[in-house]
Amino acid sequence: MRSKSCLVTGASSGIGFETALGLSRAGARVGIVGRSRERTEAAAARIRAAAGGPVDTFVADLSSQAETRRLADEVLALYPRLDLLVNNAGAIFDRRMVTVDGLERTWALDHLAYLQLTLALLDRLKASAPARIVNLSSAAHTRGRIALDDLNGERTFGGMKAYSQAKLGNLLFTYALGRRLEGSGVTVNAVHPGVVASGFAKNLNGPLGVAWGLMRPFLISTADGARTTLHVATAPELERISGRYFAKSRETTSSARSLDEAMQEQVWSVSLKQLSLTDAAAGGITPSLPPS
């Protein structure tokens, strides 16, 4: 990874921090994104002390479309090339919250931010090819259903339901983007990190929070949780592998719903609309519609 520039979102702690640390140890220049300037700077200092390489910090709340656009502009201004983007930031919430853009927060943070940031940086990734995009999904996607008529959770909302829907969205996006990137030199893959004892569920209270607390002693470490991401991000044999799903550092098959090409394209179109983007504006990539 020497001479390569990498960006990892949600990297002030947890899996994202361990991913950034692993990339830095491999010789990369790493940019880490967090919501808190203090925690992000502290994380960067720890990575520099452990790995000795250059670490850049970016601060943004990725549930906000304006902040995500600002982040992309800052990354493009600082990095003349970008070899790797790891969309890692995410959270689960046990009560419904709405973002500044009027969107349900889980969907906005865990799904739409992946799409918006990726498309904003896509031209730079293409210019740096061979380059890679890694999206953090979850085995929770197998429980997910895309409620196209209720993406804001106004009729029904549950924390795990919203999270599973967003993680399914990550896979649908990965597969739709993978088709569009064929021949570009940029790959995109999704990973399940495992069930990790990280802080991503710190917003949980009530029964879901209690259940998570009881499970925590049996969960894998954040370092182990970063292994699959690091494998997909760096393994030489995966340089041309795209549009796949990995768990335990091995390619695996995702749910039947995630493989539905018509749904992939529906979610792609709806997501662009929620971001006020068109295909023409989305990195210059055109629709790749499945056969009718």
* Residue 225: per-residue pLDDT: 86
pLDDT band of 122, cuts 50, 70, 90: very high
Bridge pairing between strands 84-87 and 245-247 = unpaired
Give the residue from 133, 63, 69 showing the smallest Cα distance to 277.
69
* Residue 49: per-residue pLDDT: 97
pLDDT band of 203, cuts 50, 70, 90: low
Whole-number percent of the chain with pLDDT over 90: 82
* Residue 92: per-residue pLDDT: 92
Calculate mean pLDDT across residues 79-85: 98
Calculate mean pLDDT across residues 87-111: 96
**Cα(117)–Cα(137) distance, rounded to whole angstroms?**
16
**Cα(274)–Cα(284) distance, rounded to whole angstroms?**
18
Please give the domain boundaries of the chain with CATH numbers for all domains: 5-274 (3.40.50.720)
Chain centroid, CA 155 distance in Å = 27
Above 70 in pLDDT, residue 267?
A: yes
* Residue 291: per-residue pLDDT: 34
**Cα(117)–Cα(42) distance, rounded to whole angstroms?**
24
**Cα(59)–Cα(76) distance, rounded to whole angstroms?**
15
pLDDT band of 212, cuts 50, 70, 90: very low
* Residue 217: per-residue pLDDT: 54
Above 80 in pLDDT, residue 196?
A: no
**Cα(41)–Cα(44) distance, rounded to whole angstroms?**
5
As annotated, the active-site residues are 163
* Residue 223: per-residue pLDDT: 82
Q: Which of 43-47, 106-110, 207-211, 220-224 has the lowest mean pLDDT?
A: 207-211
* Residue 204: per-residue pLDDT: 52
Calculate mean pLDDT across residues 140-168: 95
pLDDT tens digits along 220-260: 588 888 999 999 999 999 999 999 999 999 999 999 999 99
pLDDT tens digits along 4-56: 999 999 999 999 999 999 999 999 999 999 999 999 999 999 999 999 999 99
